[in-house]
A and B are shown apart, each in its own frame.
Chain A
Amino acid sequence: MFRKMHPPATAVTIFVDGQPVSADAADSVAAVLLAAGVVRSRNSAVSTSPRAPYCMMGVCFECLVEIDGEPDRQACLTPVRADMHVRTVPA
C-alpha cells in the first residue's frame, strides 16, 4: 500500500504474524505494517470487520495489535525494535 522513498538508516527485522519483515528502526509499527502491504491490522470488536491504521497519531485506535505478547498496543505510537513480534488479529 505504501513504499519507502529511502533505504532504511538502520535496518531491523521484525515478525508480523510469524513472517519476517524488514523495517527501519526509526519507524512505528503501523508504518512498517503499511509498507509491508498488511491490509488489515485488526478486526473490529463488534462485527469483526477489517480495520487498518486511520489517523497515524494515536487518536483512532484502529491500529491496535498485539506486540510481544501484550494485546491492544497502538501500533502508530510504538517504535519497532529488532526481533519484535507483532500479531494482527485474523478472522
Chain B
Amino acid sequence: MNQCDLAVIGAGPAGMAAATEGARLGLDTLLLDEQVAPGGQIYRNAEGMRPGDFALLGDEYRRGAELAAAFRASGAHYEPGSTIWHVGADGTLGVLTGTGARLISARRVILAPGAMERPVAIPGWTLPGVMGAGAAQTLLKASGQVPDVPVVIAGSGPLTWLIACQLARAGVAISALLVTTPADRIARALGHLPRALRAGGELLKGIGWIREARSRGIRIVTGVTALAVQGEGRAEALTFTTASGRDSIPASIMLLHEGVIPRIHLSLAARCRHVWDEAQLCWKPETDAWGATSLDRIAVAGDAGGIMGASAAETLGRLAALDAASRLGRISTVERDRTAEPQRAALARHTTVRPLLDQLFRPLAGLLTPDDDATIICRCEEVTMADLRDAVAQGATDANCAKLLTRCGMGPCQGRMCGPAVAAVIARAQNVPVEAVGTWRIRFPVRPLPLAALAALEGGLDAEPEE
C-alpha cells in the first residue's frame, strides 16, 4: 500500500492505540514498525508471553497483549519489519522492508517511535559486557534470555530496581546495585509527593520493587557519584566512587541506566520544531494538546514527545488519532473534543507521578559529562572527551560545529548515542544552557539503507526543505 489517510510509525502503546483508534474512526490506517511483532520496547513480545512470564515480568505486561489484540482486530494495515529512513513535511515516508525501498504518501503521520535509554558515557563503556539495563530487559522479554554470570546494575531510575527484581526472580546472581540517585534528591522530591500519591498504584509499584530488591538481599550501594569500567577486550570490573572512596566489583556483565529520553531522529529529520525539556534533560518535538507538531501533517504521540510512560502513551496515541480524524474530515472538532474528555482525565491520572520521578531520578551532571579525557563520547567514531574539549577550544559553540570538527555523530548510529553527551559537554565547557548548544541537524536517510534500494526507487524524492 503506497497511499493512506493515516500512517503511524511505531507499534508500542502509543502507536498501537493510535492505529486502533484511527481505524475505528474510519481512517485508512497503516502502522509501520521496525520490529517483527507489535508491543514496542515496553511490551516487547506482548503476544508471545507465557503464563509464567507475568510472575517474572510483572502483571502490568498483560496490558501489552490487550493492546495488540485490539490493534489486530481494528482493521488497520500492519507492516512489521519496516524501517523508516525518511519523513517529509508533506507526509511522504521512505520505507525499507528487507532490501526493498519504497515511498508512501500519507495524509497525516503520527510518529510514535518511543524512547531510548539515555546513553551513559563512562570510561570503558564500549567494552563488550557493558549494556543498557533496557537491553537486558529486552533479552528477557523477547528471548527469555538472562545473564549466566553475576551482574552489576548501576544508575538511577525505576528500571534499575525493576530489572534487579526481574533478574533475581529468574535466578540471576546480582553482585550489586549501584545507585547514583543522590540521597538529598529524595528530600527535594518529597515536595511532589502529595500530587504523586494521587497516582497511587504507580508509586506503590516502584516502592514495591525497592522493597523486593532489599528483601532478596541484593547488595545496594547508595550515593555513587562516578563509574568506570575496567577490562582488556571485555568488561572485567566496575569501579565506583562514593563519599567513602573508590571501590571495585568484578563482573563481566554490567547494566547501566540513567533514565530514558525521546527518540527524535524522525521528527528532527522532518524538521519539526524541537524544544529543550530542562526537567527531563532532553530535546523533544514541540507539540500541542493533541500531539500536533509545528508541521501541518505530522503529529507525535507517546514517549517520543516527552517521557510520560506506557499508560500515558496509550492515551496520547488515541488523542493524536482523534485529531487526525478531525483534520481529515471524519469527525467534527466538537466530536473530537467530546470523545477526548475521558482520555484527558486518564492522561491527568497517568502523569501525576511524573514530576516526582523527573526530580528524583534526574541524572547527576558529573555522569553526563565525564571528567576523564580519554572517555569515549561518540562510540562510532571514537571521539573522546579530550577531542570535544579541543573542538570547543577551537570555537565550536554548537553540536553541529563539534560534529564537523571531530566527526562525532557521523558514524552508523547518526548521533543517537552521543548526541545528549556532546551537547552537555559543550554546554558545560562554555557555561551556557544546553538549549543554547542546540541539537543535530539530521538529514535523510535517517537510517542506513542500501544504495541499490535508493537507486531503484520509482519517482525519486523531492529536495529537502530549506529552513
- Give the contact-size bracket for chain A: 35 or more
Query: Min CB distance, A73 to chain B, in Å?
Result: 10
Beta-carbon contact of A3 and B382 below 8 Å: no
> Which residues from A are CB-within-8-Å of B448?
72
Q: Which residues of A contact B183 (CB under 8 A)?
A: none
Q: Does B442 contact A (CB under 8 A)?
A: no
> A28 CA to B418 CA in the complex, in Å?
25
A24 at the interface (CB under 8 A from B): yes
CA distance A54 to B124 in the complex (A): 13
User: Which of B140-148, B304-312, B340-348 forms contacts with chain A?
Assistant: B140-148
User: Given contacts A2-B139, A39-B234, A50-B234, is CB(A55)–CB(B145) below 8 Å?
Assistant: no
Contacts of A53 in B (CB 8 A): 131, 135
Q: Is the CB of B135 within 8 A of A39?
A: no
Contact with B along A6-33 (1 / 0, CB 8 A): 1000000000000000001011100100
- B34 and A35 form a contact (CB under 8 A): no
Q: Does B405 contact A (CB under 8 A)?
A: no
Stretch at the interface among B13-21, B320-328, B408-416, B425-433: B408-416
Residues B236-294 near A (CB distance < 8 A): 252-253, 263
In angstroms, Cα B382 to Cα A61, docked, is 13
B126 at the interface (CB under 8 A from A): yes
Q: Give min CB distance, B266 to chain A, whole Å.
A: 12
Q: Is the CB of A31 within 8 A of B142?
A: yes
Assuming the contacts A57-B138, A61-B411, asked whether A2 and B145 have C-beta atoms less than 8 A apart, the reply is: yes
A44-B138 contact in complex given A2-B148, A3-B146, A72-B448, C-beta closer than 8 Å: no
Q: Which residues of A contact B417 (CB under 8 A)?
A: 54-55, 59-60
Query: Once the chains bind, are A5 and B380 in contact (CB under 8 Å)?
Result: no
Select A44's contact among B117, B134, B143, B382, beta carbons within 8 Å. Answer: B382
In contact, A46 and B143 (Cβ under 8 angstroms): no
**Number of chain B residues close to chain A: CB under 8 A:** 47
The one of A5, A49, A57, A72 in contact with B116, judged by C-beta atoms closer than 8 angstroms, is: A57
* Measured CA separation A70–B450 after assembly (Å): 10
Cβ of A54 and Cβ of B130 under 8 Å apart? yes
B36:A79 contact, CB within 8 angstroms: yes
Measured between C-beta atoms, what is the minimum distance from A63 to chain B in Å?
A: 10
Evaluate contact between A31 and B145: CB separation under 8 angstroms: yes
* B411 adjacent to A47 (CB under 8 Å): no
Complex contacts, A84 vs chain B, CB 8 Å? none
Within 8 A of B (CB), among A51-86: 51-62, 64, 70, 72, 77, 79
Check if A55 sits within 8 Å of B143, measured CB to CB.
no
The answer to the question of B129 belonging to the interface, with a C-beta cut-off of 8 Å to chain A, is yes
Are B143 and A24 in contact, CB atoms less than 8 angstroms apart? yes
Distance A2 CA – B131 CA, assembled complex (angstroms): 12
Taking A2-B147, A4-B144, A26-B48 as contacts, is the C-beta distance between A55 and B134 under 8 angstroms? yes
Complex contact A52–B128 (CB within 8 A)? yes
Any chain A CB within 8 A of the CB of B132? yes
A5:B131 contact, CB within 8 angstroms: no
Distance A26 CA – B37 CA, assembled complex (angstroms): 10
Q: Given A34-B139, A57-B41, A62-B379, do A1 and B130 touch, yes or no (CB 8 Å)?
A: no
Q: Which residues of A contact B (CB under 8 A)?
A: 1-6, 24, 26-28, 31, 34-35, 39-41, 44-47, 49-62, 64, 70, 72, 77, 79
Could you tell me which B residues sit within 8 Å of A by CB distance? 34-36, 41, 48, 50, 83, 99, 116-117, 119, 126-132, 134-135, 138-139, 142-149, 170, 233-234, 252-253, 263, 379-382, 411-413, 416-417, 448, 450
- 20 new A-B contacts, CB < 8 A, other than A27-B143, A51-B126, A57-B134, are A2-B139, A4-B145, A27-B142, A34-B145, A39-B233, A44-B126, A44-B379, A46-B381, A46-B382, A52-B128, A53-B131, A54-B130, A54-B379, A56-B139, A57-B41, A60-B417, A61-B412, A64-B412, A77-B35, A77-B83
